[in-house]
Each structure stands twice: as C-alpha cells, then as structure tokens.
A = this chain, B = another copy of it.
Amino acid sequence: MHLVTPPLSGERFQVIYRIQGDYEDAMVKAQDACIEQTVEFPSDLLPSGDIPDHIIGRITDVSESRNGSHDITISYPVEGAGIDLVQLLNVIFGNTSIKPGIRVEKLILPPVILNTFRGPRFGRIGLRELLKAPTRPMLCSAIKPMGLTSEQLAEQAFQFTSGGIDIIKDDHGLADQPFSPFRERVERCAEAVQRANSKNGSNSIYMPSLGARADQIFEKAHFAKSVGAGGFLVPPGLVGFDTMRALADDDTLALPIMMHPSMIGSYVTCPTTGFSHYSLFGQLTRLAGADATIYPNWGGRFAFSREECISIAEGSQDDMGQIKPIFPTPGGGMTIDRIPEMLEVYGKDLIFLMGGGLHRIKPTLVESSAYFRNLVENM
C-alpha cells in the first residue's frame, strides 16, 4: 500500500464547476476532472493507498443548475496545489480547460490556502486612505490615444488631476512604442500628476501599464516607482496572474495595482468554458493581489450583462478570510448619464472608469473631469 510522504494533512479546497449535460453526462465529466486535474493517470493502474484515496479529486456536491447544466463541487488535497498560485490554477482548471462543457463557477478555499496569500496589499480601505477619499466613489481615467507623444499624454494627466480624477492610468495599449517610450512617458506623466497635486492639494496617483516583457517587467515597475508612479495597471492575461501576484507582493514596490482584463476575455465570453465572472474578476483577481478589478460595465461597448457585473462586485467583496475586498472598476464605454444607475447597483464602494467619454463633456479635460467629480460627489 502506497502512502504519500510526508503524510497528507487531510485539508482540502473545493471548486464548484458548472458542467453542461444531464446528471449522468455531468457526473462523467466531473469524475474525469477528479483524475485529470490531479494524477492524470488511468484509475485502474493507480497504486492503492493515499493516491486514489486522497490525492485525486472527490465529488462533494451535485445540484441541478440553469439550462439543464449541473453544478458539481470537487475537493482536492491542499498539498496537490503546492501552495502557490500557479499550481493552484493548474489544479483548478489546467487540463480541464481543454475540455468543452465545463467551467469554473466558484472557489472555496480554506484558511490554510488563503493565509498563504497576501492578496491585495491595499484593498478598499488601504486605497481609500492612500487617495484620501474615505467614503465617496472614486474616479479613474486613462491617458490616450496611442500615437500621442509622452508630452501630450502628460498634459492629459495634468488636466485629469487638476479636474479631480483620483487615478490616472495609462491606456492599456500604451507599452513601449516609439511615439511614447515607457521610461519617457512614465517620468513625464508621474511628474505631471505630482505637479497638479502640489498645485491643487490633491492626492491623485498615476498608474503606468505594466504590459511588459517578462524579463523587463520588474525593472520597469521599479523604474516607475523611482520616478513617482503611484501604482500599476497590470494585465494578467498578457503577463500571467502570478506575475501580478509577485508585483503586489514585492515590498520594495508596495504600490496599489489595478487588474486590466486584456486577453482574459475568452475565459468568460463563452458560457460553457473558462471561468465565471465571479471567480475570475473577483476571487482570482483578489488572490493575485489586485486592489481594483477593471471590467466592462453592462450597456457599454462590451457584452457583459448586468447580472454578470453584479457577480463581479460580489466576488470583489465576499468573504475570503484575510484577503481584502477590492474595488469593482466598471468601464468600457461609460458615460456621465450612467452614474445614477451605477451608484444604485454598486453603492459607493466603486471606482468609476471613464476613458474616451470624458473627452466630450466640456471644452477641456480639466472642466470635464471637474464636472464628472462634482456629479459623483453630489449624487
């Protein structure tokens, strides 16, 4: 009889999968995931003992869900996930991502796993303290479009700050292009935001985009901090969820992070594969250390439903032990007239993200930003 050494703790974490098909079909797919996500080995050839008894996944709950699909909960041993985010994701959905008709709906993580992660360094309370905005909704906009010079983008950053935007981020499409090279742009924009802060007594921060090469991303982050950047925009779909986690965990950086959804869309746009909005934009984004989760609000340029957006807001704050709640940051075609509806749905714990829309409210960006800020504060 084969026993695992060192002995298993017996602690397990759970994943709720939404599986297409009737009860029998869904159970076959779930039993398959129990193997595929762990030993990836023919069951009849496993040595008896701990491996079949404890290492492979175990179905712990089955319930019928919408459109004839089934929600099936599988538990896995904590040790299999090796207590890091990469291997946790690997066990949650690695090979099963390649099979049709199964989607990660929700993670149920015990304290032994949650305590291994720092999660968001700031979270809602920390970011509010940093931005000196104890209760009101906060505002974010992006410098853009791609093709402008660093000087022109810095001028936008100055105007946004002067008008009262709290977080001025790079458009996620700004990388290290010749028209606004990373170091030049970051230096100028950080300076512009600080200059406007000094002038107006404001506390805005500039977040450059870290959609950068794996061998340059930490160096770029440190450079950005050294010239006064106040946080980072990180696209985990491009650089990896654990790279975002490592940036958040780095005590020599210690700046807030906003998650940008570039390239992770395919995990949610197809309802029968990938992840639920709740688990991807909420749970995983928090586990990976972001302090705010950007996603397209319903009714804008993208196709997320109102219900999906609400589930993201829930995932951003539902209990995850010591992992802090973070800010839902709906954007993607937002306009001024959406503010009342959004406040009603999300409450005040949110960051409004308005990009292009902010350029057509008033003659200047300062005036548009001030108008936006005033509306939000007085509603």
Contacts and interface: CB of A to CB of B under 8 A. Distances in A.
Interface of A: 2, 4-6, 32, 36-42, 45-46, 50-51, 55, 79-80, 82, 84-87, 89-91, 93-100, 142, 144-149, 171-173, 175-179, 211-215, 235, 237-240, 242-243, 245-246, 249, 261-270, 272-275, 296, 301-304, 332, 355-357, 359-360
Nearest to A250: B215
A84 B175 contact: yes
Contacts of A179: 4-6, 79
A176 B98 CA distance: 23
A205 to B, nearest CB: 21
Contacts of A249: 215
Nearest to A3: B147
Given A90-B235, A212-B86, A55 B146 contact: yes
Contacts of A302: 98-99
Given A39-B144, A80-B173, A211 B51 contact: no
A40 B145 contact: yes
Which of A95, A237, A239, A301 is most buried by chain B, counting CB atoms within 10 A of its CB? A95
B263 A266 contact: no
Contact of A176 (B82, B177, B245): B82
B40 A173 contact: yes
A46 B177 contact: no
**Tally of this chain's copies:** 2
Given A90-B263, A98-B265, 12 more contacts: A32-B301, A40-B172, A42-B356, A51-B145, A85-B213, A87-B176, A90-B235, A95-B262, A97-B237, A100-B303, A213-B242, A240-B243
A145 B80 CA distance: 11
Contacts of A240: 214, 238-240, 243
A26 to B, nearest CB: 16
Contact of A39 (B146, B265, B268): B146
A215 B217 CA distance: 11
Closest 10 CB pairs of A and B: A98-B265, A97-B265, A39-B145, A270-B270, A240-B240, A94-B262, A87-B175, A41-B145, A266-B274, A51-B147
Given A87-B211, A213-B86, A266 B267 contact: yes
A60 B2 CA distance: 62
Given A172-B90, A242-B214, A97 B263 contact: yes
Given A97-B237, A265-B97, A273-B266, A171 B90 contact: no
Contact of A359 (B42, B142, B215): B42
